[in-house]
Amino acid sequence: NHDLAQLVETSDEWVVTRTGIRERRFTAEDEFASHMAIHATENMIAKHGPQVLDGVDLVILATSTPDALLPATAAIVQNHFKLKAGAFDVIAACPGWMYALSAAAAYVKSGMAKKVLTIGSDALSKILNWEDRGTLVLFGDGACAAIVEAVPEGYGFKSFVLGADGEGAKHLNMRCINTTLPDGSPLTEKVSMNGREVFKFAVRVMSSATREAVAKANMQLTDIAYFVPHQANFRIIDAARSSLELPPEKVVSNVERYGNTSAASVGIAMREALDDGRIKDGDDLLLVSFGAGLSWASSVMRWHAKTF
């Protein structure tokens, strides 16, 4: 925060009070989403052994900051690890990785794929307006990687809720090829956001989408071991927690150290809660994310601590 206060009119105190964020990580000039995606996958190999990638037949990579429009960043990862796999990117803003998880789960369930390397990687620092204090202080760069494959009966994804409301496109956007939205409103060259509108939407949807995912799984909120929300702003997380009447110790939050890492945020939070021993085999997790679109995704899953 102190570094950013040298660049724009802000302060550590403002950022901490309004968002809970103290630190974030930015990629080096020559590092992009593919580098972080490869790193996250290498971390997975270091933890579980090289056999973790054996039989991967599909790579799905969620990002809003692909290295290039062509090829898909997923294909760069496929080539790096020499996987005999299909590869495509998902662009669905912050909930992108959860959309990717839902796609991976559906591929596995239908038998169209057996083992899906499912990555969320975003280098938001590359598309920020470094003069806009309203967005600059919020975002960080990061990546997560997971394997989605068949699990024993009772484990795995129990529900997914996916939603979008394109009416809200004007609240959070950035230009790519077209310079306007369909209604003619201009798209900015770098990310622009109406923070207040997104805040209100986020609090509303975090609560409704999570309730929906729990109901779809035929469960109660009290069955949930850990709530792993998108890490955008601690005030949003806490408002959702309070409306869901969840005790603070059931909430996984690391927004303080990473800021909003977009498609990577839920995965990084899960990984930390696994590493420190909070999430255990058989725990029921409630995941939720929201972002540009406007869009959202939630899911209930039972964690399977597999040894590869």
Give the binding site for ligand UT7 (CB under 6 A).
Answer: 10, 14-15, 18-19, 94, 133-134, 137, 193, 195-196, 198-199, 202, 232-233, 260, 291
Contact 104, 148 (CB under 8 A): yes
Contact 115, 151 (CB under 8 A): no
Closest to ligand UT7 by CB, 107 vs 234, is 234
Q: Count CB neighbours of 148 within 10 A.
A: 25
Min CB(133)–ligand UT7 separation in Å: 4
Contact 169, 163 (CB under 8 A): no
Closest to ligand UT7 by CB, 41 vs 64, is 64
Min CB(134)–ligand UT7 separation in Å: 5
What are the two backbone dihedrals, phi and then psi, of residue 61, each rounded to the nearest 5 degrees?
A: -120, 120
DSSP 126: G
Contact 122, 266 (CB under 8 A): no
Question: Is the Cα torsion angle 24, 30, 36, 39 positive or negative in sign?
Answer: negative
Instruction: Give catalytic status of residue 230 as yes or no.
Output: yes
Min CB(79)–ligand UT7 separation in Å: 30
Min CB(198)–ligand UT7 separation in Å: 4
Min CB(115)–ligand UT7 separation in Å: 29
Contact 213, 300 (CB under 8 A): yes
Closest to ligand UT7 by CB, 85 vs 161, is 161
Distance CA 249, CA 273 (A): 12
Closest to ligand UT7 by CB, 128 vs 137, is 137
Instruction: Give catalytic status of residue 2 as yes or no.
Output: no
Instruction: Give catalytic status of residue 194 as yes or no.
Output: no
Distances (CA, A) of 105 to 96, 99, 115: 14, 10, 10
Closest to ligand UT7 by CB, 15 vs 300, is 15
Q: Which of 1, 94, 173, 233 is catalytic?
A: 94
User: Would you name the residues annotated as active-site residues?
Assistant: 94, 230, 260
